[in-house]
Structure 1
Amino acid sequence: MWNKLRTDEYEGMLAETITMPGYKGDQIHAYFSRPLGKGPFPGIILIPHMPGWDEFCRETARRFSQHGYMALCPDIYCRFGHGTPDEIATKARDAGGVADDSVIGDCEGSLEYLNSLPYSNGKAGVIGMCSGGRHAFLAACKVSGLDAAVDCWGGRVVASKEELTPARPVAPIDYTPELGCPLLGLFGNDDKFPTPEQVDLQEEELKKYGKNYKFYRYDDAGHGFMYYHTQMYRPRQAMDAWEKVFDFFGEHLSLKERD
């Protein structure tokens, strides 16, 4: 829980850039942080958003580790080259975006990496924001072995045929029957991408197929309301959302020894 750390407890973490196998065995970079100690710790795959594999993602990974999680953020954009996050995000946009199959493969590699660690408790979730939220829902449907997923205002989960591309050939909502783990969704009611109506459609599909989910929608908040480094930031809504995230992962990624 946020700000419930005891003042007399030791705290420490390791955070570093690593190389790991991703889609089709590609060696990709990832930012990895974990608490110090033998664990066992649950794992979280943090999918970067379209602003890129950026400083916000690294700070978010460390926030999870401060609360007892291993956090792995794969550079899903690495195949477009290397440079500043803005430079590589621009290249990705110009190329039509990173392919869904590539993201799924990188998530599968991330999950395998986390589960292979001797201090893993054998449980792992996925979270993403913006395009990463879309990817988190996609991973929850297509990657076997995830225990929980969080979609933060993922755009184009609901998409028309005209919005589909070779890189994104299927609207993720069409994979709803395959959703294999509990889902948490966080949305701003002033968002245009996704709109409240699109969130309604996604919720209807989840209900239709009897999926385990919780959606929270925030008034006076739009797209990116948790981005504290932008004008979109809404502190009250953001901190409530963080509480929801920690409660959700705490429930589904409980600190248990491997079976």
Structure 2
Amino acid sequence: MSDSLPGPSTGSLTATTVSLAGHGGDAIEAYLARPEGDARRGGVVVIHHMPGYDRQTKEMVRRFAESGYDAVCPNLYTREAPGAAPDDAAAVARAQGGVPDERLIGDVAGAAAYLRALPTSNGKVGVIGHCSGGRQAVLAGCATDVDAVVDCYGAFVIGPVPEGSPMKVTSLVDRLPDLGAPLLGLFGDEDTHPGPAEVAELGRLLTESDKAFEFHTYPGAGHGFFAVNRPNYNVAAANDGWERIEEFYGRHLAGGERS
């Protein structure tokens, strides 16, 4: 194992629901998972996808804990539908146009602060999201002090929302010069949001702004290829993607306190 990666894990972890301070100091529900032991380690904020704060997202949180990180997923729909089932909460949020960008920034900043306040924190926090969460991860990288960003096929980072869509999100092109952390992007070449042309344009814009990034696009993979419970799940792409995520976070979240 590389010296940059978290130490060996016994696989033992704790997972529980907590409350943390989000945008405007609002108390929001969150799912926290932590490996056993008191070793200093990095943290990961997991941004759930449009379908919500669901079982599959919580499994990802636990996976990061098993890999040696403190990980937390804030329930972005706490305000719209407290206590509702994920599908119901997502329907309410979608009907309202999605999570407002400034509120998302505040909620991720609050989740990152929560992780950094844990006694095991080494001060470093990464963020990851899939689909709508991928776009939001990039947004968080442009507007908060996270240390590493993973965008898994984030829709509408630069492209427009289709006409007639209830989603009220805008392009992040104007924000990209503010990206303050290295970015890992994982995409499918059969995806349409973002399609290959959008991924290429995003890479051009990041290069133009002299940002640190690496993109990987998987042949034969469509949107949602990480989602084990969906038809687009692609075993080869997802397995390689997880390896790249672990290596990327190993490089950027390991070590001592932030400078």
TM-score after normalising by structure 2: 0.92
Deviation by residue 1:34-84 (Cα, 9 ceiling, x = unmatched): 101112120000001001000011000000100100111000111111311
Matches within 5 A, 1:121-132: 121-132=122-133
* In the alignment, structure 1 residue 108 sits paired with structure 2 residue 109: yes
CA distance 1:161–1:31, shift in 2 (3 Å): closer
Give, in angstroms, the shift of residue 257 of structure 1.
4.7
The worse-fitting range, judged by mean Cα deviation, of 81-90 and 180-189 is: 81-90
Q: Match for 1:69: what amino acid?
A: Y
**3-state SS of the aligned residue for 1:243?**
helix
C-alpha displacement of 1:201 = 1.0
Amino acid at match of 1:101: E
Partner residue in 2 for 1:85: 86
Following TM superposition, by how much is the alpha carbon of 1:258 offset from its aligned partner in structure 2, in angstroms? 5.9
Asked if structure 2 preserves the Cα contact closer than 8 Å seen for 1:76 and 1:103, the reply is yes
1:187-206 correspondence runs (5 A) = 187-206=187-206
Cα deviation for residue 165 of structure 1 reads: 8.8
What is the CA deviation profile of residues 97-141 of structure 1, one whole-angstrom value per residue up to 9, with x for unaligned ones?
111111100011011111111110111100000000000000000
Distance 2:46 2:237 in 1: 21
Task: Give the 3 Å change call, closer, same or farther, for CA 161–52 of structure 1 in structure 2.
Answer: closer
Q: Which residue of 1 aligns with 2:134?
A: 133
Secondary structure of the residue aligned to 1:176 is helix
Residues 45 and 127 of structure 2 are in contact (CA less than 8 Å); yes or no, is this contact kept in structure 1? yes
The structure-2 alpha-carbon separation of the partners of 1:245 and 1:225, relative to structure 1 and needing over 3 Å to count, comes to: same
Report the counterpart of residue 151 of structure 1 in structure 2: 151
The Cα shift of 1:184 comes to 0.2
Task: Note if 1:12 corresponds to 2:26.
Answer: no
Change in 2 beyond 3 A, CA 1:227/1:217: same
Does the 8 A contact of 1:100 with 1:167 survive in 2?
Answer: no
Q: 1:125·1:253 contact (CA, 8 Å) conserved in 2?
A: yes
Contact kept? 1:40, 1:257, Cα under 8 Å: no
CA distance in 2 between counterparts of 1:69 and 1:207 reads 30
Pair 1:162–1:86, CA change in 2 (3 A)? closer
* 1:39 counterpart = 2:33: no
Q: Could you say if the C-alpha distance between residues 119 and 230 of structure 1 is closer, same or farther in structure 2, counting changes exceeding 3 Å?
A: same
> How far apart are the structure 2 equivalents of 1:235 and 1:162?
29
Identical positions, percent: 43
Q: 1:5 matched to which residue of 2?
A: none
* Distance across 2 between alignment mates of 1:251 and 1:258: 13
Deviation at 1:159, TM superposition (A): 3.0
- Does the 8 A contact of 2:9 with 2:68 survive in 1? no
User: What is the rounded CA distance, in whole Å, between the counterparts of 1:247 and 1:213 in structure 2?
Assistant: 14
Contact 1:97 1:167 in 2 (8 A): yes
Structure 1 stretches of 4+ moved >2 Å: 8-11, 159-168, 255-259
Listed as ranges, the gaps of 5+ residues in structure 1 are 2-7
Equivalent pair of 1:190/1:220 in contact (CA under 8 Å): yes
Q: 2:64 corresponds to which letter in structure 1?
A: F
Q: Does the alignment pair 1:50 with 2:40? A: no
Cα 1:174–1:161 shift into 2, 3 Å: farther
Instruction: Flag the 1:160–1:237 CA change in 2: closer, same or farther, 3 A.
Output: closer
Change (3 A) 1:195 1:162: closer
Paired position in structure 2 for 1:67: 67
**Structure 1 counterpart SS, 2:119:** coil
Q: What is the TM-score normalised by the length of structure 1?
A: 0.92
Structure 2: stretches of 5+ with no match in the other structure? 2-7
Cross-structure match for 2:98: 97
CA RMSD of aligned residues (A): 1.9
Letter of the 1:134 counterpart: R
1:243 and 1:133 map into 2 onto residues whose CA distance is 18
Q: Which amino acid aligns with 1:30?
A: A
Counterparts of 2:243 and 2:253, CA distance in 1: 15
Distance 1:114 1:220, change over 3 A: same
| Residues matched between the structures, number | 251
> Quick check: 249-258 or 122-131, which moved more?
249-258
